[in-house]
Structure 1
Amino acid sequence: MRGHRQDERPLAELDDRALLAAHVAGREGAFGELFARHRDRLWAVALRTSGHPEDAADGLQDAMVAAYRRAGSFRGDAAVTTWLHRIVVNACLDRLRAARVRRTDRLPDDLEEYGDRGDARTAAPETEDPAEHSVRAERRRAVVDALGTLGADQRAAIVLVDMEGYPVAEAARILDVAVGTVKSRCSRGRARLAAHLADLLVDDDRAPGQAHHPAAGNPDAGPHVRPDDPRGPPAPRS
């Protein structure tokens, strides 16, 4: 990335690689633009990996400081988003391991679902039946509680593959492990979630044979629920 002529186009017109190159070249605001572009997805991953908003904020802050300082080491052998997610996940896992967080710690239960990837969020339709809304909320709380029982490595794999919808191969690049390792962690994590969510499988009101829960599917696909803290990600601290 070094030694290239600086791209003078407006920052908003630059792709991720060009933004990172501009930051390394010393262009003011380039890293801030890059972070703003991916802020919500990075925050969602940090929140679900850490399990608590405060820990997620600290983990995300650690990760962005590291990315800011180590931008020159980006080799370009993966997407910039993969590189950023890897730093965020590692920072959050480092904090979890250092603090020896209990496997039964609860994840926040006040999270809403993304309607699509990125910033878009979908609220419950105004016409939704109150009973159905209550059922959905109860299921979300059950999933949140079950996620809190997973170890850090399994949780990270489940978050990336089943919640953020990343292909297993990209999740493996983010976590810097083999594809088989991600599949194994997802498989074990889903089995554990299935045990905790057995009642949901019995009571699922979907069509027969279409039980929908975080342990369903195969190692290459999941329900792709994308929860996030409704308060949104914190702004980087100066």
Structure 2
Amino acid sequence: MTATQRADDHDLSRHVSAAPHGGRTDGSGLDEPTLVVRAQEGDLGAFDVLARRHQAALYRLAVRVLGNRADAEDALQDALLDAWRRIGGFRGEADFSTWMYRIVTNRCLGLLRGRGPAQPVAEVTDGGAEVVPNPTRQPSPEGAAEFDAGLAALRAAVAGLPVQQRVCFVLRELEGLGYADIARITGASEPAVRGRIHRARTRVAEVMRPWR
């Protein structure tokens, strides 16, 4: 990559991660198809609105797959840059969110190939903060400790899944996507997706049996 390309990427990254200031409109009141068309015409402000609408879910996916917040932030930033460069090729065969999930997933898989297994991390909310259990009735210290241990075991179980199983499990069980969408995101057949999720569920259930 040349110095000019790196400078262009830095400028694009700054715009994508900041509130839109240029372009024809901030696009906040526009529907998604209109924003996509405007982004394809080169409207960075429209793309920024699209990115902001989906970035919380995309970041949550990256954290759950990678198990590392710093890596997740890098993967999301790179994925947004990829999406901006490739927005002209989006044809609408699937939802824009599904298209973005695929780009983020591919970035995560690339990072995972370059390092060891994911490490379990605290769960994240849409805003990226740790989830703090908030039951309607305050548990005893013993109950709270057991609950925390169960959550830690679940995170470890997900982190310990083979990469392809982990991605499919996260997309299905934690993000709530359908099998067809997961097949589009991962590039696998729907039967292969179902098989991966079944094996992942079996493994997670085995690990979580002491907490049932």
- Normalization by structure 2: what TM-score? 0.79
- Deviation of 1:171 (Å): 1.4
- Measured in 2, the distance between the counterparts of 1:42 and 1:91 equals 11
- Measured in 2, the distance between the counterparts of 1:61 and 1:148 equals 22
Asked whether 1:124 is paired with 2:123, we answer: no
Pair 1:17–1:119, CA change in 2 (3 A): farther
Asked whether 1:194 is paired with 2:210, we answer: no
Q: Which of 156, 166, 182 in structure 2 is aligned with 1:171?
A: 182
Gaps in structure 1 of 5+ consecutive residues: 1-7, 205-238
Give the aligned partner of residue 88 of structure 1: 104
Whether the 8 Å CA contact 1:59–1:91 is kept in 2: the answer is: yes
Gaps in structure 2 of 5+ consecutive residues: 1-23
Whether the 8 Å CA contact 1:124–1:133 is kept in 2: the answer is: no
Asked whether 1:27 is paired with 2:40, we answer: no
- Deviation of 1:151 (Å): 1.3
Residue correspondence of structure 1 range 46-85 to structure 2 within 5 A: 46-85=62-101
- Deviation of 1:17 (Å): 2.2
Structure number with the higher helix fraction is: 2
Range with greater deviation from structure 2 (45-54 or 76-85): 45-54
Asked whether 1:101 is paired with 2:116, we answer: yes
Whether the 8 Å CA contact 1:50–1:56 is kept in 2: the answer is: yes
- Measured in 2, the distance between the counterparts of 1:77 and 1:144 equals 33
- Deviation of 1:123 (Å): 5.2
Give the aligned partner of residue 141 of structure 1: 152
- Measured in 1, the distance between the counterparts of 2:132 and 2:91 equals 36
- Deviation of 1:126 (Å): 6.6
Q: Which of 168, 172, 188 in structure 2 is aligned with 1:161?
A: 172
Whether the 8 Å CA contact 2:183–2:193 is kept in 1: the answer is: yes
- Measured in 2, the distance between the counterparts of 1:74 and 1:161 equals 23
- Measured in 2, the distance between the counterparts of 1:27 and 1:74 equals 15
- Measured in 2, the distance between the counterparts of 1:122 and 1:75 equals 40
The one-character-per-residue Cα deviations of 1:191-237 (angstroms, maximum 9, x if unpaired) are 2222322212xxx2xxxxxxxxxxxxxxxxxxxxxxxxxxxxxxxxx
- Measured in 2, the distance between the counterparts of 1:179 and 1:17 equals 27
Pair 1:197–1:122, CA change in 2 (3 A): closer
Range with greater deviation from structure 2 (10-19 or 67-76): 10-19
Asked whether 1:43 is paired with 2:59, we answer: yes
**Aligned pairs, number:** 186
- Measured in 2, the distance between the counterparts of 1:28 and 1:75 equals 18
- Normalization by structure 1: what TM-score? 0.71
Give percent identity, aligned residues only: 32
- Deviation of 1:9 (Å): 7.1
